[in-house]
């Protein structure tokens, strides 16, 4: 049975629902007519996703009596530039978008981040909804209201917090997602279990492969749990003053790997898989049992994610350079996320040298 699962994100007057239901894409129009008190939709999507699902979305909006226009941006992180953001503003102005307009992001995390930043800033903020179409975006990126574009100097350097009014997830769209993208998305699912949900981790140890194989129940369960973890954390710390940073488990080194490889070469989930292995090993120092390190590494390995870091001096030089630019440093310190046990993470301050354990003396 394809029952709907709804996860609330509790943020006072910015609260919203994450709705997960196979086949729900074609119902988007009718729910939007109820949820958003605006009359016109501007759909932001990417070339590939627009070709696959654009018509279903616009037909659904039309059936619900919502007028819409569509803005198509490039696939992947090429969409996340100031030039693309500027193009969106041009298009919004040209089609007379006003405060009765809302944006609908239909695509992966890149489209969501771009459209969200446009929604956060156009007319000082218009409503928006997320229709994520990758596993990574459904399990993680679409929830929590972080939006951004990249700067040549670094990823996500220009952004804003702007919560969507609704996150509408149709897991069936994952059928057209390349296998490598599915595996990459699994890394965020594993991450949420590792930092917060030991039962989910145990479930993954039994059922993990069923998710990238797109078993309907397993996908729904994995999405529901990952989203619930993120919703709970964001509900307690919307703007990352504290525990929201736990969601960055594996991301400090992960981002450095992405930057060092030139963005796009290594997928986000692949990089954070390596970052999680690194952070799990480091967590031995604060008491994570060796057995739990092994459990994390073998789960990632089983999912076809990389677990062996390129460990040459040249590589560490590149990671060091990338880490030196990390925007999350405060007073020169990194806040690395470490584990006491599976399901219990904490923030631990360390210097760049401690982080790299003296590898590649500069
Ligand atoms: N805002 C957040 O909290 C947050 C969290 C994590 C990641 N992100 C951002 O998300 C981005 C990565 O997102 P992503 O992994 O979804 O990658 P992506 O958005 O680049 O999408 C990956 C590729 O899959 C294609 N695609 C998307 N849906 C498809 C479908 N259903 N069928 C076939 N092809 C499809 C896209 O066109 C693209 O080529 C990064 O820019 C990252 O910074 C944001
Ligand atoms: Zn991530």
Confidence of residue 146 (pLDDT cuts 50, 70, 90): very high
- Average pLDDT for 282-290: 96
Confidence of residue 155 (pLDDT cuts 50, 70, 90): confident
The Cα 308–Cα 306 span in angstroms is 6
Evaluate: CB of 45 within 6 angstroms of ligand 1: no
Ligand nearest to the CA of 135: 1
Coil, helix or strand at residue 156: strand
Beta strands 67-73 and 101-107 are unpaired
Q: Which of 79, 84, 111, 136 to mutate to test the pocket of ligand 1 (most atoms within 8 A of CB)?
A: 136
Evaluate: CB of 77 within 6 angstroms of ligand 1: yes
Coil, helix or strand at residue 261: coil
Q: Output the CA 110–ligand 1 centroid distance in Å.
A: 5
Residue 12 has pLDDT above 70, yes or no: yes
Is 344 designated active site? no
Q: How confident is the prediction for the chain on average, in pLDDT?
A: 94
Q: Which residue has the higher pLDDT, 228 or 258?
A: 228
Angle among Cα 42, 148, 275 to the nearest 5 degrees reads 130
Q: Residues 6 or more apart from 277 whose CB is under 8 A from it?
A: 250, 296, 297, 300, 307, 309
25 backbone dihedrals φ, ψ, rounded to 5°:
-55, -40
The Cα 284–Cα 272 span in angstroms is 18
Closest residue CA from atom 3 of ligand 1: 141
Chain-centre distance for alpha carbon 128: 17
Identify the active-site residue in 225, 244, 282, 320.
Answer: 244
Tens digit of each residue's pLDDT (9 = 90 or more) over 164-178: 999 999 999 999 999
């Amino acid at each position: 049975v394809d029952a709907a699962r709804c996860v609330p994100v509790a943020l006072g007057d910015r609260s919203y629902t994450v709705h997960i239901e196979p086949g729900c894409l074609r119902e988007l129009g009718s729910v939007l007519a109820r949820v958003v008190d605006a009359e016109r939709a501007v759909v932001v999507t990417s070339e590939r996703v627009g070709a696959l699902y654009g018509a279903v979305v616009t037909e659904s909006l039309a059936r619900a009596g919502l007028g819409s226009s569509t803005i198509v941006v490039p696939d992947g992180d090429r969409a996340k530039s100031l030039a693309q953001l500027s193009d969106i503003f041009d298009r919004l102005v040209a089609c007379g978008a006003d405060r009765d307009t809302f944006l609908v992001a239909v695509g992966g995390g890149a489209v969501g981040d771009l459209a969200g930043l446009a929604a956060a800033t156009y007319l000082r903020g218009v409503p928006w909804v997320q229709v994520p179409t990758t596993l990574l975006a459904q399990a993680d990126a679409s929830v929590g209201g972080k939006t951004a574009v990249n700067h040549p100097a670094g990823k996500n350097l220009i952004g804003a917090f702007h919560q969507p009014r609704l996150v509408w997830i149709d897991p069936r769209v994952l059928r057209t997602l390349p296998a490598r993208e599915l595996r990459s998305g699994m890394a965020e699912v594993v991450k949420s279990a590792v930092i917060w949900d030991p039962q989910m981790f145990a479930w993954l140890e039994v059922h993990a492969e069923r998710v990238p194989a797109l078993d309907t129940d397993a996908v729904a369960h994995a999405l529901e749990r990952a989203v619930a973890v993120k919703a709970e954390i964001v509900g307690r710390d919307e703007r990352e003053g504290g525990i929201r940073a736990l969601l960055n488990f594996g991301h400090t080194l992960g981002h450095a790997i992405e930057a060092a490889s030139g963005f796009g070469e290594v997928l986000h989930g692949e990089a954070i898989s390596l970052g999680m292995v690194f952070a799990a090993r480091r967590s031995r120092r604060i008491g994570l049992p060796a057995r739990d390190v092994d459990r994390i590494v073998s789960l990632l390995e089983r999912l076809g994610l990389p677990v062996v870091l390129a460990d040459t001096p040249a590589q560490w030089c590149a990671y060091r350079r990338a880490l030196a630019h990390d925007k999350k440093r405060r007073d020169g310190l990194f806040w690395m996320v470490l584990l006491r046990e599976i399901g219990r993470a904490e923030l631990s301050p360390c210097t760049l040298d401690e982080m790299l354990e003296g590898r590649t003396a500069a």
